[in-house]
């Protein structure tokens, strides 16, 4: 099995199968949907995630947590969340007394991920944490340890792993449709606006475009190859006279080398609009553009010397409801999420290596 070890291939195949297979008897016997508390009521939480509970089979919205009383009132009334299940950040620990809450979904600025994950675990709740998992690998390790100590599951919000086009790309690669992966090219960026937003505050975000949108390029390179990088190079380009980039980086181009000899060329940017990847092998290529957006993915392939658009195999749920239900299913069947805490930790260790490579102008072995 050229390029990818047999062990890696089997592990990846089993993980994909676990994500797709139906619930076992334990879940079928449970009529109760598991209750989520949404912690942080910004745009992504209120406009993207919360409406998707209506499509879930095993998950429901049970509680809200916010530092803004007006948001708690507005969305509590909109979604029928009782006042007793609306928590301020200060009163969050009382969620331990709410048996309707099984899972806390942490959707806050990055620097707050660790503290709320640890508090949720201490409260006896399972956790979904948005990506990046934290602002340092040390924080990621502490989050994993806290959930293990509490006997709770931890999942990271890598929603693209539940999106039909990305699922199809992974399956095609694992089935050998393009042969051994040789190159990945993946670009992710958008034009960021207000200089005062938290994403441009290093203390809150932990970094710039790489921590925010570039992580999609990084994670895609890993799940497309099915390998972990052994070396990284990087180069940064940031206009420090731009008020948006006083504290964080704009563009980082980085390269990854994998054990098989495959390479990935990746872009992360806050001043360019891009969202795509192409993965190539000796037998063809797979391209998705846009690749990891909220909607509108489009796939093209060159397989068996035929080039053209390709529709992925239908999936029973969209990426958001599938992600929400995945953790519920894992809890009900005592399985581990396909994007658990270790996945987030691996990305943070690589992000730290990429920053170091750009800062020191040299290849960093990982």
Rounded to an integer, what distance in angstroms lies between the CA atom of residue 247 and that of residue 242?
A: 10
Give the three-state DSSP class for 8.
helix
Strands of the 299-303 sheet, one edge to the other: 306-310, 299-303, 284-288, 271-281, 183-191, 263-269, 251-257, 231-237, 364-365
Catalytic residue flag (residue 36)? no
Rounded-to-integer distance, Cα 292 and Cα 166, Å: 8
Which residue out of 125, 131, 153, 346 is catalytically annotated? 131
- Name the active-site residue from 105, 216, 270, 277: 216
Task: For residue 364, give the 3-state DSSP assignment.
Answer: strand
Contact (CB, 8 A) for 159 and 319: yes
Peptide bond connecting 70 to the previous residue in cis, omega within 30 degrees of 0:
no
CA angle 220, 225, 231 (to 5 degrees): 90
Determine if the peptide bond prior to 290 is cis (ω within 30°).
Answer: yes
Catalytic residues: 131, 216
């Amino acid at each position: 099995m050229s390029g990818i070890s047999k062990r890696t291939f089997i592990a990846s195949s089993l993980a994909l199968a676990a994500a797709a297979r139906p619930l076992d008897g334990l879940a079928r016997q449970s009529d109760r949907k598991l209750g989520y508390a949404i912690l942080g009521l910004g745009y992504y939480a209120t406009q993207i995630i919360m409406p998707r509970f209506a499509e879930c089979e095993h998950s429901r919205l049970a509680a809200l947590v916010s530092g803004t009383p007006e948001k708690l009132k507005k969305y509590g009334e909109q979604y029928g969340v009782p006042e007793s299940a609306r928590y301020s950040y200060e009163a969050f620990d009382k969620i331990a007394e709410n048996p309707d809450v099984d899972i806390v979904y942490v959707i806050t600025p990055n620097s707050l991920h660790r503290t709320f994950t640890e508090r949720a675990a201490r409260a006896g709740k399972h956790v979904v944490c948005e990506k990046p998992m934290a602002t340092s690998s040390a924080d990621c390790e502490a989050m994993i340890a806290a959930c293990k100590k509490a006997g709770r599951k931890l999942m990271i919000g890598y929603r693209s792993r539940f999106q039909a086009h990305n699922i199809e790309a992974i399956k095609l690669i694992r089935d050998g449709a393009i042969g051994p992966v040789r190159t990945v090219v993946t670009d992710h960026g958008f034009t960021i606006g207000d200089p005062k937003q938290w994403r441009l505050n290093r203390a809150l975000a932990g970094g710039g475009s790489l921590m925010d949108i570039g992580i999609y390029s990084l994670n895609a390179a890993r799940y497309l190859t099915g390998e972990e990088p052994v070396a990284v190079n990087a180069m940064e380009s940031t206009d420090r006279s731009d008020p948006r980039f006083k504290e964080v980086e704009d563009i980082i181009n980085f390269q990854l080398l994998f054990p098989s000899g495959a390479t990935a060329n990746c872009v992360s940017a806050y001043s360019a609009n891009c969202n795509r990847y192409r993965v190539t092998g000796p037998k063809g290529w797979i391209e998705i553009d846009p690749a990891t957006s909220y909607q509108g993915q489009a796939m093209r392939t060159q397989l068996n010397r035929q080039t053209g658009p390709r529709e992925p195999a239908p999936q029973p749920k969209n990426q958001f409801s599938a992600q929400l239900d995945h953790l519920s299913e894992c809890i009900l069947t005592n399985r581990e999420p396909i994007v658990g805490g270790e996945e987030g930790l691996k990305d943070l260790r690589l992000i730290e290596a990429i920053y170091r490579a750009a800062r020191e102008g040299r290849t960093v072995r990982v």
